[in-house]
Amino acid sequence: MEIVILAVVIAVVALGAISGLVVSSRKKKQLPPAPPSSPSVTAPPAEPHVGEEAEPPSAEPRRTVEEVELPGAGAPVAEAEPEAPAAPAEPEAPAAPAVEVPEPTAGRLVRLRTRLSRSQNSLGKGLLTLLSREHLDEDTWEEIEDTLLTADVGVAPTQELVERLRERVKVLGTRTPEELRALLREELLTLIGTDADRSVHTEPGVGVNGEEKPGVVMVVGVNGTGKTTTTGKLARVLVADGKSVVLGAADTFRAAAADQLQTWGERVGARTVRGPEGGDPASIAFDAVKEGIAENADVVLIDTAGRLHTKTGLMDELGKVKRVVEKHGSVDEVLLVLDATTGQNGLVQARVFGEVVNITGIVLTKLDGTAKGGIVVAVQRELGVPVKLVGLGEGADDLAPFEPEAFVDALIGD
Ligand SMILES: Nc1nc2c(ncn2[C@@H]2O[C@H](COP(=O)(O)OP(=O)(O)OP(=O)(O)O)[C@@H](O)[C@H]2O)c(=O)[nH]1
């Protein structure tokens, strides 16, 4: 009897073991969720990377962006995830894109004043030292003139300034350092101008069909001056001021430009409209404004490709981008980005760009890397258009509204 019971127990245990093995092997087979038949979805499931253009993305029709996920940043639109059939699905963290809150823009130039130290040393302090000499003879005045010219103030403004200084110093007689500083401050301010409208116009307007249209800003300039960076920084400035922004990546020449812009946008929650590499910039710009109107955005910022002012074909293309955008309504601001370190060269660029698209404001970038702060004066004279923003570094919040008083104070020191 016992033998029979033992035999039964062994049989039961053996059966159990066999069925257990089968189940676990089935489970193992289920584990890798075999990618189901979704052939054309290009987005890789977990961590796609920007710029992975290795294989052509299956000739998709041109789509407005937002699906390209960036390293380290979640995609702004969460539903774009293709995954579906995975079995017991763990509660996936929604990977909220950490949208940054940029610093307010008020007083930025004051905060960034030390970045102007190179200009400060050669222009402001240089002038003060020379003016403080006991005898202001011809040689000293020549040195003053040279200092201004070296700082790229330009010939005509330099002569004007020297003349006025000579006159006022004569009237002043003996000079204390405070008097000299005040005098120089006043004259530099006169040269730069304090009553120009330096605000970037982004007010909404009325579109061609009577609908509300976002403020439209185009950013133009030659290669490498900092257009994309400036567009990104400007988006932050606007977001900091409480505006919603759509970015148009109309720089289709430089492969990384759209990715770069999109990264800037994602950091502050701004959508980027982009097209295929080498695509038609005018149609991307057009789509960006269309998107801006559709989503009721406050401002659309359009980054354009860098182009040499000497290439007429490219300059014509820029004119076309603007005209096409204007089919929606007015372009409210055309910002010319000039690299302050290129000095007088920038003036020629300014002139030609001004002829093709009506420049309404100048952004002087890389002022942190040059002793030639005087270019502010020269370029305004050349174009008759005010400097509205200055770039003082590569940091995200290193773009400052241009304030003449703060600028001059930074140049000559307190
Ligand atoms: N130091 C400094 N660097 C800047 C400033 N603005 C832009 N840059 C740098 O200049 C370089 C070029 O900037 P981009 O924005 O890529 O220039 P871009 O005009 O869009 O270039 P293209 O599309 O090739 O014409 C980048 O390394 C920026 O970080 C600034 O104010 N100061």
pLDDT band (50, 70, 90) for residue 2 = low
Domain boundary residue among 192, 220, 249? 192
Q: What residue's CA is closest to ligand 1, atom 10?
A: 226
Q: Could you tell me the residue range of the domain that residue 142 belongs to?
A: 116-192
Would you say residue 102 lies in a domain? no
Q: What residue's CA is closest to ligand 1, atom 14?
A: 226
Q: What residue's CA is closest to ligand 1, atom 21?
A: 224
| Residues 234/217, Cβ–Cβ less than 8 Å | yes
pLDDT at 95: 55
Of 188, 112, 109, 129, the closest CA to residue 153 belongs to 188
- Which of 237, 341, 342, 365 to probe ligand 1 with, by most ligand atoms within 8 A of CB? 365
Instruction: For residues 257 and 186, give the distance between their C-alpha atoms in angstroms, rounded to a whole number.
Output: 42
Find the mean pLDDT for residues 341-351: 85
Span from the CA of 227 to the centroid of ligand 1 (angstroms): 6
pLDDT at 94: 52
Span from the CA of 16 to the centroid of ligand 1 (angstroms): 70
The number of residues making up the chain comes to: 414
pLDDT of 254 higher than 50: yes
Find the mean pLDDT for residues 142-167: 93
Span from the CA of 225 to the centroid of ligand 1 (angstroms): 5
pLDDT band (50, 70, 90) for residue 140 = very high
Would you say residue 360 lies in a domain? yes
Instruction: For residues 345 and 48, give the distance between their C-alpha atoms in angstroms, rounded to a whole number.
Output: 42
Span from the CA of 207 to the centroid of ligand 1 (angstroms): 32
pLDDT at 277: 82
Pocket of ligand 1 (CB under 6 A): 221, 223-229, 251, 254, 257, 305-306, 365-366, 368-369, 391-394, 398
Span from the CA of 342 to the centroid of ligand 1 (angstroms): 13
Span from the CA of 226 to the centroid of ligand 1 (angstroms): 3
Find the mean pLDDT for residues 297-311: 91
Same domain for 334 and 253, yes or no, is: yes
Instruction: For residues 359 and 382, give the distance between their C-alpha atoms in angstroms, rounded to a whole number.
Output: 12
User: Which residue in the block uniquely carries the two structure tokens 């579109």?
Assistant: 207
Same domain for 282 and 149, yes or no, is: no
Find the mean pLDDT for residues 15-39: 37
Atom of ligand 1 nearest to the CA of 257: 23
pLDDT of 67 higher than 60: no
User: Which residue in the block uniquely carries the two structure tokens 């402001």?
Assistant: 124
Atom of ligand 1 nearest to the CA of 260: 16
Find the mean pLDDT for residues 124-153: 90
Same domain for 154 and 211, yes or no, is: no
- Residues placed in the known binding site for GTP: 221-228, 303-307, 365-368
The CATH number covering residue 377 comes to 3.40.50.300
Instruction: For residues 99 and 4, give the distance between their C-alpha atoms in angstroms, rounded to a whole number.
Output: 73
Domain boundary residue among 163, 192, 221? 192
C-alpha distances in Å from residue 194, one per residue of 186, 377, 388, 411 = 10, 12, 12, 16
SS3 annotation, the chain: CHHHHHHHHHHHHHHHHHHHHHHHHHHHHHCCCCCCCCCCCCCCCCCCCCCCCCCCCCCCCCCCCCCCCECCECCCCHHHCCCCCCCCCCCCCCCCCCCCCCCCCCCHHHHCHHHHHHHHHHHHHHHHHHHCCCCCCHHHHHHHHHHHHHCCCCHHHHHHHHHHHHHHHHHHCCCCHHHHHHHHHHHHHHHHCCCCCCCCCCCCEECCCCCEECEEEEEECCCCCCHHHHHHHHHHHHHHCCCCEEEEEECCCCCCHHHHHHHHHHHCCCEEECCCCCCCHHHHHHHHHHHHHHCCCCEEEEEECCCCCCCHHHHHHHHHHHHHHCCCCCCCEEEEEEEHHHCCHHHHHHHHHHHHCCCCEEEEECHHHCCCCCHHHHHHHHHCCCEEEEECCCCCCCEEECCHHHHHHHHHCC
Span from the CA of 21 to the centroid of ligand 1 (angstroms): 62
pLDDT of 384 higher than 70: yes
Same domain for 303 and 161, yes or no, is: no
Between the two ends of the chain, the Cα-to-Cα distance in Å is 109
pLDDT at 303: 96
The CATH number covering residue 188 comes to 1.20.120.140
Domain boundary residue among 192, 227, 258? 192
Q: Is 74 exposed, middle or buried, given 0-12, 13-18 or 19+ CB atoms closer than 10 A?
A: middle
Find the mean pLDDT for residues 35-57: 31
Find the mean pLDDT for residues 346-370: 91
Same domain for 168 and 229, yes or no, is: no
pLDDT at 96: 52
Same domain for 218 and 184, yes or no, is: no
Same domain for 159 and 221, yes or no, is: no
* pLDDT tens column, 201-218: 999 888 888 888 999 999
Indicate the pTM of the whole model.
0.76
Instruction: For residues 46 and 69, give the distance between their C-alpha atoms in angstroms, rounded to a whole number.
Output: 10
Q: Which two tokens stand for residue 414?
A: 């307190």
| Residues 349/311, Cβ–Cβ less than 8 Å | no
Instruction: For residues 400 and 342, give the distance between their C-alpha atoms in angstroms, rounded to a whole number.
Output: 20
Computed on alpha carbons and rounded to an integer, the radius of gyration of the chain in Å comes to: 30
Span from the CA of 228 to the centroid of ligand 1 (angstroms): 7
pLDDT at 239: 92
pLDDT at 214: 96
Atom of ligand 1 nearest to the CA of 365: 31
pLDDT of 174 higher than 50: yes
- Which of 115, 119, 229 to probe ligand 1 with, by most ligand atoms within 8 A of CB? 229
pLDDT of 29 higher than 90: no
Same domain for 236 and 168, yes or no, is: no
Same domain for 215 and 276, yes or no, is: yes
**More reliable by pLDDT, 65 or 389:** 389
Q: Which two tokens stand for residue 413?
A: 């020191």
Find the mean pLDDT for residues 79-108: 57
Of 161, 158, 141, 140, the closest CA to residue 150 belongs to 158
- Residues placed in the known binding site: 221-228, 303-307, 365-368
Q: What residue's CA is closest to ligand 1, atom 1?
A: 393
How many C-beta atoms lie closer than 10 Å to residue 141's C-beta?
Answer: 17
Task: Report the number of distinct structural domains present in the chain.
Answer: 2
* pLDDT tens column, 363-382: 999 998 888 888 999 999 88
